[in-house]
Amino acid sequence: MAAWDLSVTVEDLGPDAPPVTISVASDLHVGGVIVKLVEKTQIKRDWSDHALWWDQKKMWLLRTAWTLEKYGIHADARLIFMPQHRPLKLDLPNGKTVRLRACFSDPVFQTVMGICRQLNIRHPEELSLLRPVEEKKKKKDKDLTEEIYDLTEVPLSSVSRPCLYNGMPAHFAESEKMEAVYKMLSITQTPPAPEVITKQYRPASVVDKAHINGRWLDSSRCLMQQNIQENDRLWLRFKYYTFYELDPKYDVVRLTQLYEQARWAILLEDIDCTEEEMMLFGALQYHISKVSQSEPQALSTNTAMDDLESALLSLEVKMEGESSSATELLETMTAPELNDYLKIFRPKRLTLKGYKQYWFKFQDTSIAYFKSKEESIGEPIQQINLKGCEVAPDVNVAAQKFLIRLLIPAPEGMNEVFLRCENERQYAQWMAGCRLASKGKSLADSSFQSEIQSIRSFLAMQRNNSGSSSNAASSDESINTHSLVSPRYHKKYKTKQLTPRILDAYQNVAQLSLSDALMRFLQIWQALPDFGLSYVVVRFKGSRKDEVLGIAPNRLIRIDLGVGDVVKTWRYNNMKQWNVNWDIRQVAIEFEGNVNIAFSCVTADCRIVHEFIGGYIFMSTRSREKSDVLNQELFHKLTGGHEAL
């Protein structure tokens, strides 16, 4: 076969160096091309991280056994020989910036896995990269004074096989500078100054929130294919709001960064919450800041004890599984139930809330209600099966409002039902029962009482302790409450008005340890009605107006853009299939009961919606037995696009 000349730019020779020309034949494999290049440059160094990038086709030539003919490479191909791992600036959820070497040749999903190994974040499948919001350049460039934590010196070998030392990856223990980086990652930041909060970009509407979601990178393509260059800036954020096995012992960095993302979402009003909840969030932030400064998080763990605890837990789970059949039999024989008068309301469009009182019976995973206690022997007015339903609290302790919001699966979407309880005791019992029933568990489940206690402690945190607030206020006059709440409350209240309210709530959390306070903050955040919703502006097939699609961990929500009302809800477990027509950029979904929907995306590529749905379905397949092994092939199968070229 005839030989011909191939010109290759070798990045290590410098930007002004001419391309290196080598003589090749069409049957020469890519590995042979690399060998010839290395020999001709005569530079002695480790070339193992280098690969060829085909500029015209925007692709890496990673299959070194493939021939030039198989790749379709001719003399006019512009090839660049360069490292696959390159420096990248990452804005973390806590607002800090790290500079590290990321893989520019792997799909973004694997690149994020490598980044999370460097930062010691478990379950990297929950995070992804997105392009930052463009900021207007000001006369005083803030980037000049920005502190960047440098991790580019970390050897790639230690990242691929991380070794723990005192509970943190060994590369963080090599110097004081590296230890400072780990401290930044694992210890919560002090509350930001009020002026910092007000200067931050805040989405003014659901459409603004939707525009943010148009910035996520494609998980199945590499950084180079998405025009990301060396030293570019990207955001690292939690993308999928399903946090698997959050454990303060092993997830110091993950827990801290998740808390920071949740805190900024609340401070920048990215998620709505009531005034009472905002005061509680403020109190928890104040407590977390106070405790983390006085007693830094322990970075060391006893590995032997951890292994022993893990083995004991595994044995306990195994023994529980073996005895489950006998236990279940006993439970069904003596299954407890709840009986009481509650008020029910089924909202319909253009109707006022009118609650009616009935006698309710909670048995197994179903609720039945009757006109009165005396009629409960006969047939109920209605029986509602709660298995698979959505349960959300709507509580205001000060106003004695105790509502349970239920979203019941139905063929055409979700039916909404509100239950009104009279007092805290009744609410805690029925709310605990509803939560268990939604997971397919009965009231006989061993976690029923602990669920009640958890709900009661949550209510206690919202209860005012006005008697002790004056003492607290006198000892904490320095508290800057405007750093703990969103700008809406800066305008509504003065600092001296906010201080006693936040300190009232603080009395209920002051005894919590740092890890318990972080977990409690995240639990309350996860209980907010709008938690986990990622918005995209879409246009449904047959409609003439734009609407909003809310993508949640377990359902899709259709929202009227004009009034903000939820029009329809569809659950993933009712989904039969979904596909994307890449030619007309349209997503089509088929649900059980012959329900079909189709829409095109306005504020984001349809690939992003496709990836969100596939990603959440992938998250639901994770299990304890397989938690250490990530099925990357399944993720790409569920989220990868097959776009027409």
What distance in Å separates the CA atoms of residue 275 and residue 498, rounded to the nearest whole number? 11
Whether residues 226 and 375 share a domain: the answer is no
Instruction: Concatenate the DSSP letters of all residues of 296-314 into one string.
Output: PPP----HHHHHHHHHHHH
> Domain containing 254 — which CATH number?
3.10.20.90
Whether residues 79 and 93 share a domain: the answer is no
Contact (Cβ atoms closer than 8 angstroms) between residue 549 and residue 599: yes
Q: How far is CA 365 from the centre of its chain?
A: 29
Whether residues 435 and 357 share a domain: the answer is yes
Residue 317 has pLDDT above 60, yes or no: no
What are the helix (H) ranges across 1-98?
A: 30-41, 68-71
Instruction: Indicate the residue type of 308.
Output: L
pLDDT at residue number 279:
92
Residue 468 has pLDDT above 90, yes or no: no
- The predicted model gives 1-26 an average pLDDT of 89
Tens-digit pLDDT profile for residues 281-303: 999 999 999 898 775 544 444 44
Tens-digit pLDDT profile for residues 236-255: 999 999 999 888 888 999 99
Q: Which residue has the higher pLDDT, 146 or 98?
A: 98
Whether residues 162 and 126 share a domain: the answer is yes
Report the C-alpha dihedral over residues 59, 61, 66, 69, rounded to 10 degrees: 60
Whether residues 176 and 48 share a domain: the answer is no
Residue 215 has pLDDT above 50, yes or no: yes
In a domain, 177, yes or no: yes
pLDDT at residue number 487:
87
Contact (Cβ atoms closer than 8 angstroms) between residue 575 and residue 620: no
pLDDT at residue number 223:
96
Shortest CA distance to 504 belongs to which of 286, 328, 198?
A: 286
Number of residues in the chain: 645
Domain boundary (428, 443, 458) is at 443
- The predicted model gives 583-597 an average pLDDT of 91
Strand 233-238 with 127-130, pairing:
antiparallel
Whether residues 99 and 223 share a domain: the answer is yes
| Ranges assigned E (strand) in 503-636 | 534-540, 547-551, 555-559, 566-571, 575-581, 586-591, 595-601
Strand 148-150 with 97-103, pairing:
parallel
- The predicted model gives 605-627 an average pLDDT of 87
Find where tokens 């949740």 sit: 262
Residue 60 has pLDDT above 60, yes or no: yes
Domain boundary (427, 443, 459) is at 443
Residue 488 has pLDDT above 80, yes or no: yes
> Domain containing 635 — which CATH number?
2.30.29.30
Whether residues 43 and 119 share a domain: the answer is no
Whether residues 391 and 423 share a domain: the answer is yes
In a domain, 435, yes or no: yes
What distance in Å separates the CA atoms of residue 581 and residue 642, rounded to the nearest whole number? 9
Shortest CA distance to 119 belongs to which of 143, 86, 84, 91?
A: 91
Domain boundary (229, 256, 273) is at 273
Shortest CA distance to 55 belongs to which of 110, 11, 108?
A: 11
Contact (Cβ atoms closer than 8 angstroms) between residue 89 and residue 97: yes
What distance in Å separates the CA atoms of residue 223 and residue 217, rounded to the nearest whole number? 8
In a domain, 205, yes or no: yes
pLDDT at residue number 400:
86
Whether residues 78 and 198 share a domain: the answer is no
What are the helix (H) ranges across 97-166?
A: 108-119, 156-160
In a domain, 479, yes or no: no
Whether residues 182 and 256 share a domain: the answer is yes
Give the domain range for residue 425: 338-443
Residue 107 has pLDDT above 80, yes or no: yes
- The predicted model gives 448-453 an average pLDDT of 88
Lowest mean pLDDT among 188-192, 317-321, 332-336: 317-321
Instruction: Indicate the residue type of 530.
Output: D
pLDDT at residue number 156:
73
In a domain, 110, yes or no: yes
Confidence of residue 25 (pLDDT cuts 50, 70, 90): very high
Count of domains in the chain?
Answer: 4
Residue 332 has pLDDT above 50, yes or no: no
pLDDT at residue number 394:
84
φ, ψ at 622 (rounded to 5°) = -70, 140
Whether residues 556 and 624 share a domain: the answer is yes
Q: Which residue has the higher pLDDT, 48 or 145?
A: 48
Instruction: Indicate the residue type of 59.
Output: M
pLDDT at residue number 376:
84
Whether residues 79 and 160 share a domain: the answer is no
- The predicted model gives 480-486 an average pLDDT of 86
- The predicted model gives 617-643 an average pLDDT of 80
